[in-house]
A and B are shown apart, each in its own frame.
Chain A
Amino acid sequence: MELSRPGPDAVGTGRSRSVMADPGSTGRFGRFGGRYVPESLVPACEQLESGFRAAWADPAFRAGLARTLALHAGRPTPVTPALRLSAELGLTLLLKREDLTHTGSHKINNVLGQAMLAKRMGKTRLLAETGAGQHGVASATAAALLGLECVVYMGERDMRRQELNVFRMELLGATVVAVRNGSRTLKDACTEALRGWVTQVDEAHYCVGSVMGPHPYPWMVREFQRVVGEEARQQCAALLPQGRPDVVVACVGGGSNAAGTFAGFVDTDARLVGVEAAGGAAVSRGAPGVLHGYRSQVLQDEHGQILEAHSISAGLDYPGIGPEHAHLADIGRAEYPSVTDAEVVEAVLRLARTEGIVPALESAHALAWVLRAAGTPQLPTGCSVLVTLSGRGDKDGAQLVALRRDGARSGALRRDAAGTPR
């Protein structure tokens, strides 16, 4: 894979300042984004956009959110130097620890923002879709905290893969709706949540879990996740001699942890790398399309039917990618390689045993790319790398145990890893 550094003109120019900015009323990021929803959802999207614009410009709202993120969610999260793994790889590896937030992933940043906004707008119920269950758990948590009802749509297949999270959502008082359409995973949960939203736009806020959906969601969710990148930028400035990392890496399902991370570094000359699951690689294997209310790169067949993504991690089993990422790929400001399930399992084990940190399968995609690229021209010896560890691996325990118990399967996974370096 040829990876190109952004040219020097990407730094400090007018163009770089307008990258990852306010997309305006059309919600366009280059040729992507927009608002492709039925007329019945247009007023709700417009109200949300004006509600968010007003809240985001209101110092009291931002202070309230910052306070909640600090007191309830445990922000700021640290940046941890991964000392032993750095030594093994011959580079400086820093981890932005979103796994240490309350509920165990970056999803809480976005959800607290949206829940506080929903409350400010007079809504009484949160609707959410979830894949791995992290966004569902975060939504249920925020709803409980703010006294809102919560309904979470989840693919039946994911409910089996992430049983613990289903239990957590119910414990938190949320209603989990099993989605039995299509691939019974995240894409179908999103479609069903949109269908549900149409029937209750007055009282319900659809709390989208990533930088996807109709305008203003991709922009709004990126803004709510921006805290990850902004904290990390300051922390890197204190930790690294040159003040900023050479490369910034995050995993990409819809792309919210990556968008939040990139937002903190897009105006530096750091290389930005978003790592997709090989079975859900919308940028490298998708084609332009419209799904779930926005235009982006989407996995689809030649007839325009959406393809099912396949990944070991429920949170990355999504055929689309946030429109801003598709745009960053278009203009060459970020790159989007993919890693295989086998590489991901290896990355989980490697981090667990060198650093005593068990990452979520999703987050391990970012690490897996680092493990693959370390010592190659893509990630030369001596460089500094920031990886956003989007979540903790506790939720994946049952799945990892099953994978390891299944000797034949894990053997096959190992051969894959050796046989298909990308």
Chain B
Amino acid sequence: MNATERYGRLETHLRRRRDAGRSLLVPYVTAGISADWTDYLHAYADAGADAIEVGLPFSDPMLDGATIQEASHRALSSGTTTAGVLARLAGTPVAVPLAVMTYANIVFRHGAATFCDRLAQAGVAGLIVPDVPYDEVDELSTVATAAGVELVLLASPVTAPTRLRRIAERSRGFVYGVTVMGTTGERTGLSDSARALGTTLRGHGSRPVLLGFGISSPGQAALAAGSADGVVVASSLMREVLAGRGPREVAGTVAALRAGLDAG
């Protein structure tokens, strides 16, 4: 690891918890999915989340499966906007760091620098943009760094070894290992290639490595955490949210994931 690198708020927090022996849990919620959506943030934090991924909905979410597509559609249909979400977040201090997940068009709409400044003003620590791959990342990572936003890069099971190393070095906050060749969505089991990805990424330094996409059960989470520092869980939680379960009920599922990780 680069000796001069100063870790941001998200990474510092995740490192501290990881180094204390904890498997990291980052649950997801789509911003604007309900009037009380920020209550999910508090409920997740109370249930043992180490950070929270907040989805800023986009009309054409290329890397999302049916559940998050539906959540994005529902949020947008009820008038959710980036500005509205960031205003809500600015007025909602949450006990753990937040990372926004959205698509390139939302980021670039009024310029990436403006977008990152707005994230920082809203108190958001990290940013995940799945359709900005490593080769296209220069412009965004420069302005994110300037704004104090940690740009989390993703790696996939088919990413070449040298590229994995560069991604692990260039990522900030954590490294996001995508476990499947596919969209977000619940799956059973965990492939060997997913575990190999976690192991390889961890071998490239000390930055926290989280595995995500398709992880839904506490058992799967524990399995994934065996070859990474933790997990991101999205679709299984959003399926519950879409079914009308409130913050406290969904937090029960987060608590079960926490327990699975702690036991595993």
Binding site for B on A (CB under 8 A): 26, 34-40, 42-43, 181-182, 187-188, 191, 194-195, 198-199, 201, 287-293, 295, 298, 300, 302-306
Do residues B136 and A35 form an inter-chain contact, with CB atoms below 8 A? Answer: yes
Do residues B105 and A290 form an inter-chain contact, with CB atoms below 8 A? Answer: yes
Whether, in the assembled complex, B81 has its beta carbon less than 8 Å from a beta carbon of chain A, the answer is yes
| Given known A-B contacts A181-B69, A291-B105, A195 and B133 have beta carbons under 8 A apart | no
Chain B positions 58-92 with a Cβ under 8 Å from a chain A Cβ: 58-63, 65, 69, 73, 76, 81-83
B111 to chain A, nearest CB (A): 10
A46 to chain B, nearest CB (A): 9
Do residues B108 and A195 form an inter-chain contact, with CB atoms below 8 A? Answer: no
Tell me, in angstroms, the Cα distance from A287 to B111 when the chains sit together. Answer: 12
Q: Which residues of the other chain, B, contact A303 by a CB distance below 8 angstroms?
A: 81-83, 106, 109
Q: Which residues of the other chain, B, contact A34 by a CB distance below 8 angstroms?
A: 136
Q: Which 3 A-B pairs have the closest CB atoms?
A: A304-B109, A40-B156, A290-B104
Q: Which residues of the other chain, B, contact A26 by a CB distance below 8 angstroms?
A: 135
Please, what's the 1-or-0 string for B103-122, where 1 marks a CB less than 8 Å from any CB in chain A? 11110111000000000000
Do residues A39 and B154 form an inter-chain contact, with CB atoms below 8 A? Answer: yes
Do residues A304 and B58 form an inter-chain contact, with CB atoms below 8 A? Answer: yes
Tell me, in angstroms, the Cα distance from A287 to B104 when the chains sit together. Answer: 14
Whether, in the assembled complex, B221 has its beta carbon less than 8 Å from a beta carbon of chain A, the answer is no
Across chains A and B, the number of contacting residue pairs, with CB separation under 8 Å, is 110
Tell me, in angstroms, the Cα distance from A385 to B17 when the chains sit together. Answer: 70
Comparing B3-11, B141-149, B157-165, B225-233, the segment that makes contact with chain A is B157-165
Which chain B residue has the least Cβ–Cβ distance from A45? B133
Do residues B156 and A290 form an inter-chain contact, with CB atoms below 8 A? Answer: no
Do residues B60 and A38 form an inter-chain contact, with CB atoms below 8 A? Answer: no
B142 to chain A, nearest CB (A): 16
Interface SS of B by simple majority: loop
Tell me, in angstroms, the Cα distance from A304 to B82 when the chains sit together. Answer: 9
Whether, in the assembled complex, B130 has its beta carbon less than 8 Å from a beta carbon of chain A, the answer is yes
B31 to chain A, nearest CB (A): 12
Given contacts A287-B109, A303-B109, A304-B105, 13 further A-B contacts (CB under 8 A): A38-B178, A39-B167, A39-B178, A40-B178, A42-B134, A42-B135, A43-B159, A198-B63, A199-B183, A288-B108, A289-B105, A290-B104, A300-B109
Interface centre among A187, A198, A201, A300 (most CB of B within 10 A): A198
Which chain B residue has the least Cβ–Cβ distance from A290? B104
| Given known A-B contacts A42-B135, A289-B109, A290-B103, A305 and B58 have beta carbons under 8 A apart | yes
Do residues B134 and A39 form an inter-chain contact, with CB atoms below 8 A? Answer: yes
11 pairs from A and B in contact (CB 8 Å cutoff): A35-B135, A39-B156, A40-B178, A198-B181, A199-B183, A289-B108, A289-B109, A300-B109, A304-B108, A305-B58, A306-B105
A77 to chain B, nearest CB (A): 35
Q: Which residues of the other chain, B, contact A187 by a CB distance below 8 angstroms?
A: 60
Q: Which residues of the other chain, B, contact A295 by a CB distance below 8 angstroms?
A: 108
Whether, in the assembled complex, B132 has its beta carbon less than 8 Å from a beta carbon of chain A, the answer is yes
